[in-house]
Structures are given as structure tokens and as C-alpha cells.
């Protein structure tokens, strides 16, 4: 367990260093990948049919993606993304081969057909090659080519941050989600492929099978996945807020009994999160947990699982409080992303806190539902030990750059602090549910989420978000006692930061309203305690 925890800490450190490096220098390729280029802006995705054959023995993929799009403005050059060493073999429009100019991982297709506004057109992108092999999935992803203990191929994709174009050609930017898609995957006949959405049919061939999975809802590109193995299936019907939800589980054959016990956390998760966040956003596509040879990822309606069938994070409690061992971290965390990442999706990866802060916070929300508010508070406060304060949570825009890894637990504690400011759990629940209704199946910016929260809380949260999202300092409440009473002020704050905070004097709660200037409260006391639910530091001077 200690080894696993050490691996986690090292991984987080590597990610932090990598993110800092990215922030310091960006390339032309970063701009092509991370911005809404002119060759992306003029067309809107409507439908994909990804049709591929996976050759496990040679670690090879070939096939095509048929891209349907609506013309927003007239243009004749369209950008498709596909990362080396994969290659585009040809692009076809109405049976005619098109000219393709390649600039690194961006491929610019010149169309023959006149592009008329509001018309829906399509192109077919044929490709092949050996995709990048995952180095340390899911953080440093690609395709994981593994084998199970029985020697069967065990294969899975993971590509958050790196981009879906690492294994299939697409419009690889978060702002434009395809409305629906069909994923057709041909694999050796002894294996099963599990992807997103619902299984429409399985075609039998001499030596292979083709699995056709249909996704009815909009889906972000990194949420699309393939999972190939010697799977066995079981499932259940969940009586949810929008009716009956199919919950399906695909695990390696030898792990069936362990999965039946461990996956009891899945309906528990659904009950807690539907209560706090609103209905599961993808009833039409079902909910799945799929075992994979890496830790896990939030692939939409196809959550991948590799937490070794133990509670906590590979058996460890990231909060150090004991509460983290009350649930399977991957089932709870990755499923939380169905609401925050898959339902509400950031337009630019710089705003990835929208995904990770709310989902890290969902871990404590799960505890709140089953074990109470004190347990939830203890857990989220305990996770502060992992906060680095190395760089702002929000990254650099238009260059595919996420911010600090603090988007997880600094972000979660920011939201926990906001809950204290609201000081009304019914209102807080209504806000969280309202978010998932207001931004249902939408891509959003940080500014939109910040504005929504300011409006619904009736609090100007401008400085609050500038402090926690755009700065590395944690507010410090300085205080001392004099004959006049308690003197206090904030230091290490951004301009106009004046967040109220609850203090305790002789166990009695009292709100104060600090800012950058000294204030005095006439009380007869010589000690105070700051409510630990507020993410502020205290310093007696």
C-alpha cells in the first residue's frame, strides 16, 4: 500500500513538472491543437462513424472515420487531427480523393464540393498504423497493449489531455462535441470490444467479430474509447430519477465474483449523485463499468476501472482520515465525471478545473450522503495535504495547456468553502443540480460557471475565484488581541478579496468580514479558532 501511495505522489510530481514546462514554452503545434483555428471554426460536428479493425498481435489499427458536419460559414479547407505515427491514407468526398496538406498532427483537407451554409456534408478519413503506446496510462496515454493472467489480449485506450487523435482521426478540440456517433470495432473472434453507448449488434466473421456501439448523446472526443479483452458481462436495472437505467459491467472472466461484490458501490454512487447533481445525464446510452489494464478514466457511459477491487485509491486513503477507505475511489471519482466532464464539458482544457474540482468534491458528497456532513468535511479537509500551490489552477488558453494538478483538491476545497459561504445545504444542492440542468450536454468556459455561481448564490464571487483559480496564494487571516478586542485582516490575497469567515470563540460561532485592512471586533477573548471548513490559513501576530 505504501508503494502504491509513493507511486501516486511521484506521478503527481511528474505531472506538475510537465505542466509547468508546458506553461513556459508553447509551439506552433500546441496552437494548432489547442485553438479554434479558421479551419475548425466554419463547420460543426453532427455525426461520426468510427469503423476500425484492431490487430492485437501487431499492435496495429486501420479503418476510417466518416465525419458528418454542418456548414456554418463558407470555406473549403477543413482541419482533421491525427497524431503520428498513425497516418492518413486518404480522404474521400463523394467518392473523390481529396488533397491533404499535413502540418505535424494537423491535416488540412481541401474539399471539392461547394460548401453551402446549413448544409450537412461528410468526408471519409481512412487511416492506419501503430498508434502511440501508453507510457503511464491514463496520465500519459495512448493504447495499452497488455495481456491478462490467462494470456489473452487486454487492450484499452486512454487519451485525456493527449487527445483522441492519438488513436483515431477527428476534430480534436473540446469546444465542438459530436451530436452522436457509431463505434464499430473489429477484433479477433475470441475477444470482446466494449465502447460507449449501447451495443447495437455483433457481426460474426470467419476469424473476427465486429461490435457496433451507438452513442445517442453528444460526447467529447477523449470520452470515446475501445476496451478489448476476454470479458464477461453482468448488470442490473436501477430505478433512477428519469426511469429505469441499465447499469452494465464488463470484467475479466476470472474477476467476476470480486466484481459482483465491489461494484455494489455503483448503484450507491448513482443514488447519491442523482440526489446531489440531478439525473444521470445519459440514460439513453446506459451506464457501464469496464475493467481495463490501467487505473481508470471517465469515458462517457463507459467508465473504465482498474482499482484492483479494493476500496480507496489502490487501497490507500488520499485524505489520511480513514473515510477514503469507505468507497472504491475509481468507481466514485470517475463516475462523478459523468456530470462534470461528460455532461458539463470545458471548451478549453485550461478550464479543466470544471471537470476535476467538482469531481474531486463529489468524493466528499458521496460520503455526505451515506455518512453525514462531518465525515464529508473531514475527508475534503484531509485532502489538503496533497495541495502544491505551485501554479494557478487555470492554465493557458488556446494551446492545449491544463493548469496545476491542484485543480483536484485545492479546487475541491474551494467548493467546500463556497458551501460554507452559502450556509444553506438545500440551496447548495439546488445550485449543483441547477448547473447540470443549465449546462446540460454543453461545453462551457470558466467564466460561464463563475457567473452562474455568482448569480445563484447572490454573492459577487469575482475575487473569490481570482484568488483560488488564478493565484497560488492561500488567504491568511492575521489577528491579535488588544485592549480594544480582536484585530484582524487578510494577507496574501488578490485585489478586493473580502470573503467572510466563521470563527469560534469559546465554541460559539461568529462571522467576521475581513479584507486587506485592519478591523477591530470588540470582544472579551484571548483565543479564537477559525472554522476549518474554510480554506484559509491563520496567523496570530
Percent of the chain with pLDDT over 70: 96
pLDDT at 524: 85
Residue labelled with grid coordinates 470544471: 354
pLDDT at 399: 97
Read off the pLDDT of each residue in 131-140 and give the average, rounded to a whole number: 97
Q: Where are the beta strands (DSSP E) in 189-313?
A: 192-194, 198-204, 208-215, 227-229, 231-240, 243-252, 287-291, 296-297, 303-305
Flag whether pLDDT at 351 surpasses 60: yes
pLDDT at 525: 84
Distance CA 40, CA 112 (A): 17
Q: What is the dihedral of CA 235, 237, 238, 240, to 10 degrees?
A: 140
Nearest by Cα to 493 from 518, 466, 519, 511: 466
Flag whether pLDDT at 10 surpasses 50: no
pLDDT at 22: 43
Least confident window among 19-33, 104-118, 310-324, 495-509? 19-33
Distance CA 170, CA 80 (A): 6
Read off the pLDDT of each residue in 410-436 and give the average, rounded to a whole number: 98
Half-sphere exposure in the Cβ direction for 150 (13 Å, CA): 11
Nearest by Cα to 477 from 466, 486, 465: 486
List pLDDT tens digits, range 451-468. 999 999 999 999 999 999
- CA 340 vs CA 176, 355, 395: distances in Å: 17, 5, 18
The conformational region for residue 288 under phi > 0 = left, psi -120 to 50 = alpha, else beta, is beta
Residues 345 and 174: beta-carbon distance below 8 Å? yes
Residue labelled with grid coordinates 480507496: 312
Flag whether pLDDT at 119 surpasses 70: yes
pLDDT at 1: 40
Flag whether pLDDT at 60 surpasses 80: yes
Question: How does the average pLDDT of the chain come out, rounded?
Answer: 95
Flag whether pLDDT at 477 surpasses 50: yes
pLDDT band at 506 (very low <50, low <70, confident <90, very high): confident
Distance CA 455, CA 427 (A): 13
List pLDDT tens digits, range 180-217. 999 999 999 999 999 999 999 999 999 999 999 999 99
Flag whether pLDDT at 288 surpasses 70: yes
pLDDT band at 13 (very low <50, low <70, confident <90, very high): very low
pLDDT at 24: 59
What is this structure's pTM?
Answer: 0.95
Percent of the chain with pLDDT over 90: 94
Residue labelled with grid coordinates 438545500: 426
Flag whether pLDDT at 127 surpasses 70: yes
List residues bridging with 176 in a β-sheet. Answer: none
Nearest by Cα to 266 from 307, 238, 231: 238
pLDDT at 507: 85
Flag whether pLDDT at 129 surpasses 90: yes
List pLDDT tens digits, range 231-272. 999 999 999 999 999 999 999 999 999 999 999 999 999 999
Amino acid at each position: 500500500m505504501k508503494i502504491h501511495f509513493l507511486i501516486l505522489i511521484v506521478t503527481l510530481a511528474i505531472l506538475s513538472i510537465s505542466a509547468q514546462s508546458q506553461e513556459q514554452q508553447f509551439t506552433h503545434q500546441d496552437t494548432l491543437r489547442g485553438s479554434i483555428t479558421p479551419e475548425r471554426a466554419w463547420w460543426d460536428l453532427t455525426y461520426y462513424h468510427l469503423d476500425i479493425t484492431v490487430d492485437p498481435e501487431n499492435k496495429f489499427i486501420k479503418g476510417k472515420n466518416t465525419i458528418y458536419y454542418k456548414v456554418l460559414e463558407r470555406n473549403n479547407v477543413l482541419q482533421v487531427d491525427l497524431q503520428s505515427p498513425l497516418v492518413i491514407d486518404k480522404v474521400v468526398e463523394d467518392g473523390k480523393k481529396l488533397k491533404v496538406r499535413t502540418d505535424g498532427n494537423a491535416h488540412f483537407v481541401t474539399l471539392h464540393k461547394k460548401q453551402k451554409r446549413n448544409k450537412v456534408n461528410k468526408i471519409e478519413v481512412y487511416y492506419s498504423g501503430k498508434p502511440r503506446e501508453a507510457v503511464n496510462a491514463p496520465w500519459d496515454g495512448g493504447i495499452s497493449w497488455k495481456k491478462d493472467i490467462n494470456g489473452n489480449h487486454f487492450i484499452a485506450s486512454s487519451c485525456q489531455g493527449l487527445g483522441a487523435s492519438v488513436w483515431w482521426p477527428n476534430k480534436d478540440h473540446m469546444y465542438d462535441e459530436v451530436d452522436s456517433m457509431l463505434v464499430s470495432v473489429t477484433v479477433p473472434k475470441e475477444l470482446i470490444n466494449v465502447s460507449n453507448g449501447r451495443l447495437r449488434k455483433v457481426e460474426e466473421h470467419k476469424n473476427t467479430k465486429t461490435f457496433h456501439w451507438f452513442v445517442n448523446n453528444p460526447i467529447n472526443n477523449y470520452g470515446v474509447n475501445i476496451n478489448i479483452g476476454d470479458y464477461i458481462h453482468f448488470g442490473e436495472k436501477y430505478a433512477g430519477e428519469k426511469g429505469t437505467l441499465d447499469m452494465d459491467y464488463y470484467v475479466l472472466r476470472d474477476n467476476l465474483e470480486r466484481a459482483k461484490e465491489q461494484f455494489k458501490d455503483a448503484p450507491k454512487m448513482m443514488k447519491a449523485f442523482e440526489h446531489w447533481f440531478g439525473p444521470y445525464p445519459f440514460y439513453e446510452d446506459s451506464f457501464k463499468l469496464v475493467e481495463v489494464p490501467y487505473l481508470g478514466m471517465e469515458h462517457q457511459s463507459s467508465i473504465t476501472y482498474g482499482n484492483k477491487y479494493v476500496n480507496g485509491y489502490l487501497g490507500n486513503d488520499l485524505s489520511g482520515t480513514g473515510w477514503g477507505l469507505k468507497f472504491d475511489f475509481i468507481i466514485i471519482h470517475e463516475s462523478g465525471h459523468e456530470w462534470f466532464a461528460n455532461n458539463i464539458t470545458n471548451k478549453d482544457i485550461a478550464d479543466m478545473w470544471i471537470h476535476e474540482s467538482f469531481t474531486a468534491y463529489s468524493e466528499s458528497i458521496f460520503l455526505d450522503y451515506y455518512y453525514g456532513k462531518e465525515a464529508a468535511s473531514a475527508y475534503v479537509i484531509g485532502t489538503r495535504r496533497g495541495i502544491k500551490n505551485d501554479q494557478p489552477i487555470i492554465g493557458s488558453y488556446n494551446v492545449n495547456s491544463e493548469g496545476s494538478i491542484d485543480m483536484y483538491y485545492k479546487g475541491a476545497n474551494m467548493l467546500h468553502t463556497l458551501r460554507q459561504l452559502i450556509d444553506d445545504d438545500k440551496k447548495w444542492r439546488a445550485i449543483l443540480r441547477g448547473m447540470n440542468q443549465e449546462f446540460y450536454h454543453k461545453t462551457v468556459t470558466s467564466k460561464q460557471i463563475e457567473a452562474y455561481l455568482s448569480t445563484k448564490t447572490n454573492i459577487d464571487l469575482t475575487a473569490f475565484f481570482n484568488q483560488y483559480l488564478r493565484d497560488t496564494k492561500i488567504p491568511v487571516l492575521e489577528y491579535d488581541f488588544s485592549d480594544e478586542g480582536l484585530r484582524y485582516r487578510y494577507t496574501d490575497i488578490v485585489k478586493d478579496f473580502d470573503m467572510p469567515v466563521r470563527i469560534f470563540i469559546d465554541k460559539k460561532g461568529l462571522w467576521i468580514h475581513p479584507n486587506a485592512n485592519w478591523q477591530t471586533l470588540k470582544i472579551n477573548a484571548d483565543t479564537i479558532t477559525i472554522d476549518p471548513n474554510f480554506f484559509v490559513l491563520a496567523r496570530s501576530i
